[in-house]
Amino acid sequence: MNNGRVLIVEDEQSALKNLQHVMKKEGYDVTGTLSGTHALELLEGREFDLVLTDLRMEKVDGVQVLERTKQLHPETEVILITAYASIPSAVETMKKGAYDYIGKPFKLDEVRKIVRSAVERVQLRRENLELRRQVEKYEGKVKVITQNPVVEGLLETARQIAPTDCNVLITGETGTGKELFGRYIHYMSNRAEGPFYAVNCSSMSEDLLTNELFGHEQGAFTGADAVKKGMLEVSSGGTLYLDEILEMSPAIQVRLLRVLQEKELLRLGGTEPVEVDVRVVAASDRDLGEAVREDNFRNDLYYRLNVVSLNIPPLSERRDDIPLLSQYFMKKYSALMDKDVREISPAVLGMLMNYDFPGNVRELENIIERGAALAHEHTIEMAHLPQDFKELNIKTFRRKEGRLPSLEEQEVSYIQWVLKETGGNKTAAAKILGIDRVSLWRKIKKYGIEEE
């Protein structure tokens, strides 16, 4: 276990040995020296999270160690150890950048607490710095923010198929970023200079959607005083993103199929076909293959759209993206609000990492936007989270490999979750599950549930 790198500088042999022993038991990677001069040599060749140094030493004292540490490694924290008579001097050194001071004779519990706090601060700052570096890579581009291997694989597929001009089907839960992937494909393609438009097929009636997609001729219906080009026509030379494609009526599906096959359309009330050159990226939060099998979607249109399919995983399956996305949204809204929010507290990040996010990336963005708005200083704290979010403890059950899980799979997952929430207490878990302890034991054995 390595909880951080600590350099201890103490010219009293017994005190040094005692501090090294305590810090090693706490899990730190500890280096100790009896000499301030040697400490400066060590700092030249290695970076530490924390320097714990005596103030009064011969030749090179704690102030010199502090000053050199901050010159070489500005992110490293320094704690001064001093006799009570020297405390005013220690307070003065804090103005030079020391994190804190510990008076002699020191109490080990106090040392542990101050050291832990300092190391956590350094590590959080470095993590945020690294995340900011990663965020910078996406500036000026379509921002698909990820470090998740599955999503990175989807991005690689998107890059490969972008220049081919084939139609694409994107599936995934609401809020996972399907439209963002559609834009990414567009801007990576040869159509990047052309238009990109997005239409939500569930937000309009059949007549309105037909008119929106295909347009109409003058006089096609009452109120049609002029020719109107539809989105398929104005997207020519670019990409049209059709969200919630399953909400499209059978009649519109037939008209869209003709556009994809013949590269032409008829406006409402028109008799002359209009040539169009448009790439269609369709999206759905449901399984189109299942809809085809249930005769709720045309199979010929499905195959036209599903030349390449991308299934974006929910945020609960890409938890390694939560810190990176949180950092990105924090930076985004801090800039939009003209604020100086720089960090997310470990407590907030811990809660985010353990939340199931039924609203996916969109929900995370809303939470961070609120946090940035309410943050008084530089850090988003627990007090800045929505009250209902802090009180929620949601477990979301999702499709597995595109199919709905069986009752047995749901039962296993729920038992595992309850056991985790009760800390492995079978009596408490059985009470929550509404069964006796023996029945719970049998289910654990039957399903081979591993006990943590």
At 452 the pLDDT is 53
At 187 the pLDDT is 87
At 75 the pLDDT is 85
d(CA 26, CA 397): 38
Q: Is 445 helix (H, G, I), strand (E, B) or coil?
A: helix
How far apart, in Å, are the Cα atoms of 22 and each of 18, 237, 307? 6, 68, 62
At 139 the pLDDT is 46
What does the block give as tokens for 368? 């961070």
Q: Is 215 helix (H, G, I), strand (E, B) or coil?
A: strand
At 244 the pLDDT is 95
Q: Which among 362, 279, 317, 312 is positioned nearest to 154, based on CA atoms? A: 312
Beta bridge partners of 78: 51
Mean pLDDT by runs of 10 across the 452 residues of the chain is 83 90 90 92 90 89 89 89 67 77 83 89 76 51 83 93 93 93 91 92 92 93 90 95 95 95 93 94 92 92 94 92 92 89 88 86 93 91 78 52 64 78 82 81 81 57
Question: 16-65 pLDDT, tens per residue?
Answer: 999 999 999 889 999 999 999 999 999 988 889 999 998 888 888 888 99
pTM of the model: 0.61
At 391 the pLDDT is 55
At 210 the pLDDT is 94
Q: Are strands 279-284 and 168-171 parallel, antiparallel or unpaired?
A: parallel
Asked if 111 and 102 count as a contact pair (C-beta separation under 8 A), the reply is yes
d(CA 97, CA 66): 8
**Domains (ranges, CATH) in the chain?**
5-135 (3.40.50.2300), 149-311 (3.40.50.300), 315-391 (1.10.8.60), 407-447 (1.10.10)
Question: 22-35 pLDDT, tens per residue?
Answer: 999 889 999 999 99
